[in-house]
Amino acid sequence: MDIIFLGGLKIETIIGIYDWERTKKQTVILDLELAHDIQKAAQTDDITDTLDYYAISQRIIEFVEASEFFLVEKLAEEINRLVREEFKVPWVKLSLNKQGAIGEGTDVGIIIERGQK
């Protein structure tokens, strides 16, 4: 199976458990790997034969900006579900980075992998 990837999607959203996090948007950074057989698209050179990564990225941005989850785990699962269901992607690997969440480090986040390649 081939992989289409989206890297470094920076999105502002309400995320966190503390009172101040419920009133101030924070940046999350997403990296996604999406399983998709690109052979037909490579033969036809037609966008309808592949995953439209622009459409996927815009849908994710729209969803995340409107969300207000407490946990990065919940946000990651919901993004994964959205991509798999709406875009019929059989396997997704998602890295969600909530930079600055801890003062002692620059990065904190979660990586999940769902579905079958």
Active site residues: 98
Among the listed residues 2, 30, 4, 26, the one whose alpha carbon sits nearest the alpha carbon of residue 14: 26
Q: Please list the alpha-helical segments (H only) found in the chain.
A: 39-44, 53-66, 72-86
- CA distance between the termini of the chain: 6
54 Cβ neighbours under 8 A, 6+ residues apart: none
